[in-house]
Amino acid sequence: MEVNQYYKTVKTSLRSIVKDDVVCEKINNCVKTSNRIVIKTYLFLRLLTLHNYHNKIVNPIMDNDFVDYCIRTVSIRKDKRGIKDSKNLELKNMLNEFYEQEFKPLLPLNEEIETYTGMTFILVDVLQVKK
């Protein structure tokens, strides 16, 4: 049985949907910040993979937790509340060491580190590993 579905796309600006300029500005800032974090995380993952390949090191399993640790490595969290996560401490130390020795020297000198406070669910969803 064939179903005819008709979809219509209407392009409009964010300002026509969100009337409050403050909310619109917050959404734009969040999108820009998450974009910078995603780009930096992808670059970090690529460099780590190439580094491990050239040094004949087995890459860790790249699941959602691993990507989350990479996000936490390339960005910071201003709010330090919560319980310190002690699982995968070896992985965290390896990522931090790689960041400091290999990745950080490649970044521009005055580049600020992005904060991911309040954006954990957005970033993990954007960088979700597909199985």
pLDDT tens-digit map of 64-110: 888 888 988 998 887 766 656 667 888 889 999 999 999 999 988 88
The token pair at 61 is 């399993």
Give how many domains the chain has, as a whole number: 1
Residue 41 lies in a domain: yes
Assess if residue 30 is contained within a domain.
yes
The rounded mean pLDDT for the chain is: 84
> What's the domain range around 24?
18-126
Q: What is the pTM of this model?
A: 0.78
Cβ atoms 44, 103 nearer than 8 A = yes
**pLDDT at residue 19 in the model:** 84
What pLDDT does residue 65 have?
84
Q: Where are the alpha helices (DSSP H) in the chain?
A: 14-17, 21-54, 64-74, 89-98, 120-126
Q: Mean pLDDT check: name the lowest of 37-41, 65-69, 113-117, 118-122.
A: 118-122
Is residue 6 in some structural domain?
A: no
The answer to which of 24-28, 58-62, 76-80 has the lowest mean pLDDT is 76-80
12 belongs to a structural domain? no
Q: Which two tokens stand for residue 64?
A: 């959602």
Torsion region of 130: left, alpha or beta (phi above 0 gives left; psi -120 to 50 gives alpha): beta
Residue 73 counted as domain residue: yes
Has residue 87 been placed in a domain?
Answer: yes
For residue 1, is it within any domain?
no
